[in-house]
C-alpha cells in the first residue's frame, strides 16, 4: 500500500502549503503591500488592529467571511462560482516545484518534478482560463472587457516569461528546480555569462510582473477605468479567492526568480572582510540617520528598519564566516530573504511607474522582450557552444 501512504502525505502537504499560501502570501502579502504602500506615500498604513496593524488582514478575512455572496441575475452561476476556485488552485499548484531550502540531505520541496520549470509555466498558463471564464460568466461589460484584456496581456507575456525560464534551463542544462539551484553553487545565474544573465533576469521579472497583472501592467484591473476588471461582480469570499490566487502567483513568481537567478536557498559566498565592510557601512549610516535627527521623519523610518535588519544580517554573517561555519544560517532563511526582497521590489515598482497604455504594453512584449529574449538565448547558446 505504498501509494496510500503517498496520498496521505500529499494530502497533509496540501493542507500545509494551502495554509502557508493563505497566511504568508495572501494575508501577510496584503499587509506588506498596504504597509509599504503607506510608507512610500508617507502615511502610516494599517496601524490599529494588533501591533503595527499586523492583524489587519485577519480581521479583513473574518469580515469577508460574513459578507453576502451576490450572484448577478444574468450570470452563468456554475462558471461564475468555478472561476475563482480555478484561479486559486492554479496559484497553489505553482508551489509544488518551489524548493524552500535544504536541511542536511533533504531538500524542502513538495516534489522535485523532472520537468520542474516547464511544469511551472504550464500551471501559470492555467490562470488565464479562470480569469477569462470569470469575466465572461459575470455578464458585465466591464468584467468581460477586463477579462479579455487580462487574457491578451497574460498570453502576450507568457512567451517572454518562457524565454527567461529557457535561458536558465539552457545554462543549467536541466529543467528541475532543485537542479537549477544546485547548478548555481559556483555563481548565481544573474552574474553568469555577463551581461546576458542580467538581461534574462530583467526579461523574466518584467514578464512576471505583467503575468500577475501588477502595476505598471495592471490594465485589466485598472480600478479607475474598469472598476476592478474581471472581478467587478465578485463579492466577499469569492473576491478573496481571486486575490489569494493572484498573491500566490505573484509570490510564486518572486520565488521562482529567486531560485533561477539569485541562487535560491544558497548562501552568498562572500569573504569575511566584505561582510564586515558592509556591516560597518550599515552601522555608520544608521548612526548618522539617528544622530542627525532624520530618523524622526516618518518616511525614513521603514528605510531605517530595513537598513538595520540587513546590517544585522551582515554582522551575523561576519561572525559566522570568522567562526568557520558553513553555511552560517539555515537555508530557508536565505530563500525567504531573497523572495521577500523581490516582493518588496514588486511593491516598490507599483508606486514608481505609471500604468502603461494597452498599445505600449503589447509593444513592450512583442517588439522588445520577445526579440531580446530570443537573441539572448541564441547568443548565450553560441557562447556556450564555442566555450566547449
Partner 1 sequence: MGELAAFIILSCVTLIPAVVVVTSGNIVRSALSLVPTFLGVTGLYILLHAEFVAGIQILIYAGAITVLLLFVIMLTAGGTGTRIRQVNEQVPLGAMAAVWLGFLILLVIFRTPWQSAATAAPQYNIASVGTAFLTDYVLIFEVTSLVLLVSLIGAIIIARREE
Partner 2 sequence: MPKVIVDWLYVAVFAFVGTIMAALPLGIVWLLAPRADLPQKTLTYESGVIPFGQAWAQFNVRYYLFALIFVVFDVEVIYLYPWAVVFRQLGAFAFFEMVIFLSILLVGLAYAWRKGALEWA
Question: Exactly one of 115, 306, 309, 368 binds partner 1 (CB under 8 A); which one?
Answer: 115
Q: With beta carbons less than 8 A apart as the criterion, state whether 173 and 155 touch.
A: no
List, in order, residues 6 or more apart from 329 with CB less than 8 Å away: 267, 316, 317, 320
Q: Find the helix packing angle between 116-137 and 141-172, rounded to 10°.
A: 180
Question: Exactly one of 24, 159, 333, 349 binds partner 2 (CB under 8 A); which one?
Answer: 159
Q: Give which of partner 2, partner 1, none residue 109 binds (C-beta under 5 to 8 Å, depending on kind).
A: none
**Separation of alpha carbons 7 and 91, rounded Å:** 21
Question: Exactly one of 22, 97, 128, 244 binds partner 1 (CB under 8 A); which one?
Answer: 128
Q: Which segment (24-32, 90-98, 199-207, 320-328) binds partner 2 by CB under 8 A?
A: 90-98
Q: Which residues inside 51-110 make contact with partner 1, applying CB under 8 A? A: 76, 78-79
DSSP secondary structure letter of residue 117: H
Q: Give which of partner 1, partner 2, none residue 385 binds (C-beta under 5 to 8 Å, depending on kind).
A: partner 2
Question: Which DSSP helix (H) or strand (E) runs through 380?
Answer: helix 370-387
Residue 132 CB, nearest distance to partner 1 (Å)?
A: 5
Question: Exactly one of 7, 281, 309, 312 binds partner 2 (CB under 8 A); which one?
Answer: 7
**Separation of alpha carbons 133 and 110, rounded Å:** 29
Mark 201-240 with x for binding to partner 1 (rule: CB under 8 A) and - for no binding: ----------------------------------------
Cβ-based neighbour number of residue 141 at 10 Å: 10
Mark 150-169 with x for binding to partner 1 (rule: CB under 8 A) and - for no binding: -xx--x--x-----------
Residue 203 CB, nearest distance to partner 1 (Å)?
A: 19
Question: Exactly one of 43, 48, 141, 296 binds partner 2 (CB under 8 A); which one?
Answer: 141
**Separation of alpha carbons 301 and 128, rounded Å:** 39
Residue closest to 309 by CA, chosen among 279, 329, 338:
279
Question: Exactly one of 13, 70, 122, 287 binds partner 1 (CB under 8 A); which one?
Answer: 122
Vertex 369 angle, CA 368 and 373, to 5°: 120
Residue 291 CB, nearest distance to partner 1 (Å)?
A: 56
Q: Please identify, using beta-carbon distances, which residue of 39 and 120 lies nearer to partner 2.
A: 120
**Separation of alpha carbons 253 and 164, rounded Å:** 12
Mark 243-282 with x for binding to partner 2 (rule: CB under 8 A) and - for no binding: -x--------------------------------------
Set of cell numbers at residue 42: 508617507
Contact between 56 and partner 2 per CB under 8 A:
no
List, in order, residues 6 or more apart from 261 with CB less than 8 Å away: 168, 188, 189, 190, 197, 200, 201, 204
Contact between 57 and partner 2 per CB under 8 A:
no
Q: Give which of partner 2, partner 1, none residue 129 binds (C-beta under 5 to 8 Å, depending on kind).
A: partner 1
Mark 167-186 with x for binding to partner 2 (rule: CB under 8 A) and - for no binding: --xx--xxx-----------
Question: Which DSSP helix (H) or strand (E) runs through 320?
Answer: helix 301-322
DSSP secondary structure letter of residue 232: T
Query: Left if phi > 0, otherwise alpha if psi is -120 to 50, otherwise beta: which for 264?
Result: left
**CA end-to-end distance (rounded Å), the chain:** 48
Interacting residue ranges for partner 1, rule: CB under 8 A: 3, 76, 78-79, 113-115, 118-119, 121-123, 125-126, 128-129, 132-133, 136, 139, 144, 148, 151-152, 155, 158, 175
Amino acid at each position: 500500500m505504498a501509494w496510500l501512504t503517498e496520498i496521505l502525505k500529499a494530502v497533509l502537504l496540501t493542507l500545509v502549503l494551502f495554509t502557508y499560501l493563505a497566511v504568508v502570501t495572501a494575508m501577510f502579502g496584503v499587509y506588506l503591500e498596504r504597509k509599504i504602500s503607506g510608507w512610500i506615500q508617507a502615511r502610516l498604513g494599517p496601524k490599529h488592529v494588533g501591533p503595527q496593524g499586523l492583524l489587519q488582514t485577519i480581521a479583513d478575512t473574518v469580515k469577508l467571511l460574513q459578507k453576502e455572496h451576490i450572484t448577478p441575475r444574468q450570470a452563468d452561476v456554475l462558471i461564475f462560482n468555478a472561476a475563482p476556485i480555478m484561479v486559486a488552485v492554479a496559484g497553489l499548484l505553482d508551489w509544488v516545484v518551489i524548493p524552500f531550502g535544504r536541511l542536511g540531505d533533504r531538500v524542502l520541496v513538495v516534489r522535485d518534478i523532472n520537468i520542474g520549470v516547464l511544469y511551472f509555466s504550464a500551471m501559470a498558463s492555467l490562470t488565464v482560463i479562470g480569469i477569462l471564464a470569470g469575466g465572461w460568466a459575470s455578464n458585465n461589460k466591464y468584467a468581460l472587457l477586463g477579462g479579455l484584456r487580462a487574457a491578451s496581456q497574460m498570453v502576450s507575456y507568457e512567451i517572454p516569461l518562457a524565454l527567461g525560464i529557457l535561458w536558465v534551463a539552457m545554462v543549467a542544462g536541466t529543467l528541475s528546480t532543485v537542479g537549477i539551484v544546485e547548478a548555481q553553487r559556483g555563481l548565481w545565474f544573474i552574474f553568469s555569462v555577463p551581461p546576458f544573465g542580467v538581461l534574462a533576469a530583467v526579461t523574466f521579472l518584467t514578464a512576471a510582473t505583467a503575468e500577475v497583472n501588477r502595476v505598471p501592467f495592471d490594465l485589466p484591473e485598472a480600478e479607475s477605468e474598469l472598476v476592478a476588471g474581471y472581478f467587478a461582480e465578485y463579492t466577499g469570499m469569492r473576491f478573496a479567492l481571486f486575490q489569494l490566487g493572484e498573491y500566490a502567483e505573484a509570490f510564486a513568481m518572486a520565488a521562482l526568480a529567486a531560485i533561477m537567478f539569485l541562487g535560491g536557498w544558497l548562501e552568498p559566498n562572500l569573504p569575511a572582510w566584505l561582510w564586515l565592510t558592509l556591516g560597518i557601512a550599515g552601522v555608520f549610516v544608521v548612526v548618522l540617520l539617528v544622530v542627525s535627527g532624520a530618523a524622526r521623519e516618518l518616511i525614513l523610518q521603514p528605510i531605517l528598519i530595513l537598513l538595520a535588519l540587513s546590517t544585522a544580517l551582515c554582522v551575523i554573517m561576519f561572525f559566522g564566516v570568522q567562526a568557520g561555519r558553513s553555511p552560517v544560517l539555515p537555508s530557508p532563511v536565505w530563500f525567504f530573504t531573497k523572495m521577500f526582497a523581490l516582493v518588496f521590489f514588486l511593491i516598490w515598482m507599483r508606486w514608481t511607474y505609471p500604468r502603461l497604455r494597452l498599445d505600449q504594453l503589447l509593444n513592450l512584449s512583442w517588439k522588445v522582450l520577445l526579440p531580446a529574449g530570443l537573441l539572448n538565448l541564441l547568443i548565450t547558446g553560441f557562447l556556450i557552444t564555442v566555450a566547449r
